[in-house]
């Protein structure tokens, strides 16, 4: 109790120093309502407390809480009770999902010498929760198929398509072999997928110290990095080519009565067995490899010569799983909208973890909880949001976005009708604001970033990010753009957290916001991601936790309170032009590269420079690609720019003249639809669950975003006819968006309607 009083006093002080300068009404607000909104937002930003976040994190991360564990359910019930305490309308929604856990894990070298991998992360005396071994899930890759294989081993670098091209040139095949890949540079599930496509029969993934171990900084518990026993757990479900969520109920909510596929028909389960290991376990296996020395960029930080393999050594990998259905618990909490209850602003962060999960997801979950407490506090003071606010603490994110995907699929019709936007966070750290999301919200997020104070510099987080980006810029052109463009560019959403079903499947404008970049970490998905680690090596005083609560809470309030939804299309159009430029350059570069390569094959460059003692074959001949016809996209992008400018101009005049409530209502419906228009009912080719035509996770990259994915991936995969037809399809989608924006502008231009 006494502590609470102290927090309130600090909060008041904080409010006094953080009152920003007002310049003109907020985007989407009438002059009068903007004044009131600013006052409520300032009150809101004074409430979130770092100390509360610390206490929530201590509670949430006190025990392992993966899907199906008792503490997972206890956490969900505790979160539910907190939302209720803060005055929210709250309920649990449950789903029943396939969640495999390890039954057997064996990895040994059987020839020429014997070595059995430890597959164990030991308790450390400094770290009080690392000894909860009975509650911990052992290190494994979820949705790996069962398997028992013995074979030679081949090192495949990060296991990307280009790594296999290099293996071909070195004359090394992975057919019938077990591959060992480094973690990183792609989402982990891509590695076994590509390995299986090349004929491998098993896949090991290890964390090399060059990437997140001693080459970067001291290792845990003396530093933040991965020690020789630390292992990255994680899902390897092939969600990019199928869909995330429960593998037995693709496209529909995993309710008790849902039709379920048989396990053998679940297409997102891997084709070959997979196991993640530490670098302690990987070193003897890598050291036993012979064959060509690994290319320079492949070598890691271990004190060995990295060979590609194979050699005399044979490795035995055996994994099997309990293929159980487990119940997951989403906490769904609402504040009903006072004027537009059927327009929903949705906010989420998961609560399940691989083990204790203080950084992932605890550090994000606690910022969301403080937002919820603060919004609850505002309602007690008389604040009423226009629109309905829905806060979601998701379960089952780690196995592959289970809680959010099942909820989104179960409520798909309502969400497509009522959802305004979805705002996600996951982990949070110290440093710079990371803004990722739908570009129709880029201007809004930039505006909010200008209103949030950075805890370390007292600059606005926008100013700090701006200066950081200037420091990091690679070219003069980039620096010039940073100094001239009004808004910082937002990155595009790929996948890897709970926004995926909202943006990719339902076409709901989405954001993912966090702070970070100042600290390195090597505890991701290990038993050492816990309260001890977080409070020694990350946002130790939770001031960036408070900043994230302020940032996202303000975003929620502004979206829920605006007279006219703060969507804006000039940044979207500008971004489409940028993507188009990238695609043209990519197609040109690929063409030039293949022409040059063919010339060099003919000239005998490769055979002349292959060292007979270290032979390297010529790349295979590939037909030079035809020129692509980008004209439909050029025209569509220009038309989009014109409509965005027209809308802006019409809106500026209409605000001065006044906009009638009826017209606002109608415009808001159009604006809600604007992101939906960027998706198509038939979706992307060969993966129809993904409906959005501008953003998608990559089939061969995983989490990393592919923008204009139909066109980009066709070019990457040298499918030239498909690239041309996808250009036309994306152009048609953009034309639909342009028509919608023009219709909104036309409405604003009619004086009668005001
Ligand atoms: Zn997470």
Instruction: Kindly report, residue by residue over 87-128, the tens digit of the pLDDT.
Output: 999 999 999 999 999 999 999 999 989 999 999 999 999 999
Contact 57, 534 (CB under 8 A): yes
Please tell me the distance between residue 499's alpha carbon and the centre of ligand 1 in angstroms: 11
The C-alpha atoms of residue 737 and residue 647 are separated, in whole angstroms, by: 12
Contact 142, 105 (CB under 8 A): no
pLDDT at residue number 752: 54
Please tell me the distance between residue 425's alpha carbon and the centre of ligand 1 in angstroms: 8
What is the pairing mode between strands 340-350 and 387-394? parallel
437 by Cβ neighbours in 10 Å (0-12 / 13-18 / 19+) ranks as: buried
Please tell me the distance between residue 196's alpha carbon and the centre of ligand 1 in angstroms: 27
Q: For 184, left (φ over 0), alpha (ψ -120 to 50), or beta?
A: left
- Inter-CA distances, 606 with 167, 169, 598, 612, Å: 15, 10, 11, 12
CA angle 212, 366, 394 (to 5 degrees): 85
Please tell me the distance between residue 67's alpha carbon and the centre of ligand 1 in angstroms: 13
Q: For 98, left (φ over 0), alpha (ψ -120 to 50), or beta?
A: beta
Please tell me the distance between residue 571's alpha carbon and the centre of ligand 1 in angstroms: 29
Please tell me the distance between residue 397's alpha carbon and the centre of ligand 1 in angstroms: 7
pLDDT at residue number 23: 65
Q: How many CB atoms lie within 10 A of CB 592?
A: 11
Please tell me the distance between residue 242's alpha carbon and the centre of ligand 1 in angstroms: 21
Please tell me the distance between residue 401's alpha carbon and the centre of ligand 1 in angstroms: 9
Please tell me the distance between residue 422's alpha carbon and the centre of ligand 1 in angstroms: 16
Contact 203, 156 (CB under 8 A): no
SS3 category, 515: strand
Please tell me the distance between residue 173's alpha carbon and the centre of ligand 1 in angstroms: 36
Q: How many CB atoms lie within 10 A of CB 2?
A: 6
pLDDT at residue number 379: 98
Backbone angles phi, psi at 322, to 5 degrees: -85, 110
Provide the H-helix boundaries in 344-401: 363-380, 397-400
Q: Secondary structure of the chain: what % helix, strand, coil (to 5)?
A: 45, 20, 40
pLDDT, one tens digit per residue, over 280-319 is: 999 999 999 999 999 999 999 999 999 999 989 999 999 9
The C-alpha atoms of residue 247 and residue 295 are separated, in whole angstroms, by: 38
Q: How far is CA 624 from the centre of its chain?
A: 35
Q: Which residues contact 251 (CB under 8 A, 6 or more apart)?
A: 243, 409, 689
The C-alpha atoms of residue 310 and residue 176 are separated, in whole angstroms, by: 11
The C-alpha atoms of residue 469 and residue 620 are separated, in whole angstroms, by: 40
Please tell me the distance between residue 365's alpha carbon and the centre of ligand 1 in angstroms: 9
Number of H helices, E strands in the chain: 24, 16
Contact 326, 72 (CB under 8 A): no
Q: How far is CA 390 from the centre of its chain?
A: 20
pLDDT at residue number 704: 87
| The token pair that represents 172 in the structure block | 């090394």
Please tell me the distance between residue 290's alpha carbon and the centre of ligand 1 in angstroms: 38
Please tell me the distance between residue 246's alpha carbon and the centre of ligand 1 in angstroms: 17
pLDDT at residue number 1: 37
Please tell me the distance between residue 294's alpha carbon and the centre of ligand 1 in angstroms: 33
Half-sphere exposure at residue 265, Cβ-oriented, CA atoms within 13 angstroms: 7
- Of 328, 361, 380, the closest CA to residue 96 belongs to 328
pLDDT, one tens digit per residue, over 430-477 is: 999 999 999 999 999 999 999 999 999 999 999 999 999 999 999 999
Q: What would the 3-class secondary structure string for 452-495 be?
A: CECCCCCCEHHHHHHHHHHHHCCCHHHHHHHHHCCCCCCECCCC
Q: For 262, left (φ over 0), alpha (ψ -120 to 50), or beta?
A: beta
Which residue is associated with the tokens 């992360």?
121
Residues, CB within 5 angstroms of ligand 1 (ion): 360-361, 426
Contact 226, 212 (CB under 8 A): yes
Please tell me the distance between residue 450's alpha carbon and the centre of ligand 1 in angstroms: 27
Please tell me the distance between residue 717's alpha carbon and the centre of ligand 1 in angstroms: 31
The C-alpha atoms of residue 43 and residue 24 are separated, in whole angstroms, by: 19
What is the pairing mode between strands 431-437 and 340-350? unpaired
The C-alpha atoms of residue 514 and residue 364 are separated, in whole angstroms, by: 8
Please tell me the distance between residue 688's alpha carbon and the centre of ligand 1 in angstroms: 25
Please tell me the distance between residue 530's alpha carbon and the centre of ligand 1 in angstroms: 13
- pTM of the complete model: 0.95
Listing DSSP states for 274-307 in one string gives EEEE-HHHHHHHHHT--SSBPPGGG--SSSS--B
Question: pLDDT below 50 — which residues of the chain?
Answer: 1-22, 753-754
Using only C-alpha atoms, the chain has a radius of gyration, in whole angstroms, of 26
Please tell me the distance between residue 436's alpha carbon and the centre of ligand 1 in angstroms: 16
Please tell me the distance between residue 398's alpha carbon and the centre of ligand 1 in angstroms: 6
Contact 463, 469 (CB under 8 A): no
Please tell me the distance between residue 360's alpha carbon and the centre of ligand 1 in angstroms: 5
Please tell me the distance between residue 486's alpha carbon and the centre of ligand 1 in angstroms: 32
């Amino acid at each position: 109790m006494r502590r609470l009083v102290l927090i309130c006093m600090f909060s008041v002080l904080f409010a006094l120093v953080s009152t920003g300068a007002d310049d003109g009404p907020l985007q989407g607000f009438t002059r009068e309502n903007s004044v009131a909104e600013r006052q409520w937002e300032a009150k809101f930003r004074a409430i979130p407390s770092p100390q509360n976040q610390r206490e929530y994190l201590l509670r949430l991360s006190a025990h392992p809480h993966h899907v199906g564990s008792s503490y997972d359910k206890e956490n969900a019930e505790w979160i539910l009770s907190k939302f209720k305490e803060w005055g929210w309308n709250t309920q649990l929604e449950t789903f029943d999902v396939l969640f495999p856990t390890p039954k057997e894990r064996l990895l040994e070298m059987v020839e020429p010498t014997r070595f059995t991998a430890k597959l164990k992360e030991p308790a450390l005396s400094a770290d009080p929760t690392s000894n909860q071994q009975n509650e911990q899930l052992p290190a494994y890759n979820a949705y790996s198929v069962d398997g028992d294989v013995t074979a030679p081993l081949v090192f495949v670098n990060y296991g990307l398509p280009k790594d296999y091209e290099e293996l071909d040139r070195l004359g090394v095949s992975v057919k019938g072999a077990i591959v060992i890949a480094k973690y990183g540079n792609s989402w982990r599930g891509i590695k076994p997928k590509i390995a299986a496509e090349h004929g491998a029969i098993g896949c090991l993934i290890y964390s090399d110290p060059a990437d997140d171990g001693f080459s970067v900084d001291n290792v845990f518990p003396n530093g933040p990095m991965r020690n020789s026993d630390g292992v990255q757990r994680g899902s390897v479900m092939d969600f990019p080519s199928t869909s995330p969520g429960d593998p037995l109920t693709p496209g529909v909510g995993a309710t008790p009565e849902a039709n379920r596929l048989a396990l053998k028909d679940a297409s997102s389960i891997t084709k070959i067995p997979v196991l993640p290991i530490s670098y302690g376990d990987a070193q003897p296996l890598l050291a036993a490899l012979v064959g060509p020395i690994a290319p320079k960029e492949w070598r890691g930080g271990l004190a060995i010569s990295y060979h590609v393999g194979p050699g005399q050594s044979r490795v035995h990998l055996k994994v099997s799983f309990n293929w159980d259905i487990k119940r997951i618990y989403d906490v769904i909490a609402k504040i009903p909208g006072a004027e537009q209850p059927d327009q929903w602003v949705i906010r989420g962060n998961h609560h399940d973890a691989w083990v204790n999960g203080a950084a992932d997801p605890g550090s994000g979950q606690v910022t969301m909880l403080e937002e919820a407490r603060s919004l609850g506090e505002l309602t007690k003071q008389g604040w009423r949001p226009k629109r309905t606010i829905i806060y979601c603490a998701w379960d089952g994110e780690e196995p592959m976005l289970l809680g959010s995907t099942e909820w989104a699929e179960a409520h798909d019709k309502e969400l497509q009708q009522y959802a305004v936007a979805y705002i996600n966070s996951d982990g949070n750290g110290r440093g710079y604001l990371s803004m990722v999301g739908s570009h129709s919200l880029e201007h809004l997020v930039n505006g909010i970033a200008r209103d949030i104070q950075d805890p370390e510099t007292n600059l606005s987080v926008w100013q700090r990010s701006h200066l950081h980006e200037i420091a990091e810029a690679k070219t003069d052109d980039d620096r010039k753009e940073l100094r001239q463009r009004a808004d910082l560019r937002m990155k595009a959403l790929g996948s890897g957290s709970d926004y995926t079903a909202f943006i990719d499947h339902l076409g709901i404008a989405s954001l993912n916001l966090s702070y970070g970049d100042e600290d390195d970490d090597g505890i991701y998905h290990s038993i050492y991601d816990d309260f001890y680690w977080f409070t020694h090596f990350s946002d130790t005083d939770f001031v960036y936790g408070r900043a994230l609560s302020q940032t996202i809470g303000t975003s929620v309030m502004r979206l829920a309170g605006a007279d006219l939804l703060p969507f804006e299309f000039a940044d979207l159009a500008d971004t489409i032009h940028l993507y188009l430029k990238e695609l043209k350059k990519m197609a040109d570069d690929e063409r030039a590269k293949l022409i040059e390569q063919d010339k060099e094959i003919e000239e005998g460059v490769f055979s002349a420079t292959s060292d007979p003692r270290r032979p390297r074959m010529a790349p295979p001949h590939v037909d030079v690609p035809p020129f692509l016809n980008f004209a439909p996209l050029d025209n569509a992008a220009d038309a989009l720019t014109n409509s965005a400018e027209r809308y802006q101009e019409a809106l500026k005049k209409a605000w001065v003249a006044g906009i009638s409530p009826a017209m606002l209502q109608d415009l808001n419906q159009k604006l809600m639809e604007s992101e939906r228009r960027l998706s198509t009912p038939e979706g992307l080719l060969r993966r129809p669950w993904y409906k959005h035509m501008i953003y998608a996770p990559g089939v061969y990259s995983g989490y990393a975003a592919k923008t204009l994915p139909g066109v980009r991936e066709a070019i990457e995969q040298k499918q030239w006819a498909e690239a041309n037809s996808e250009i036309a399809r994306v152009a048609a989608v953009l034309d639909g968006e342009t028509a919608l924006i023009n219709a909104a502008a036309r409405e604003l231009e009619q004086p009668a309607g005001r």
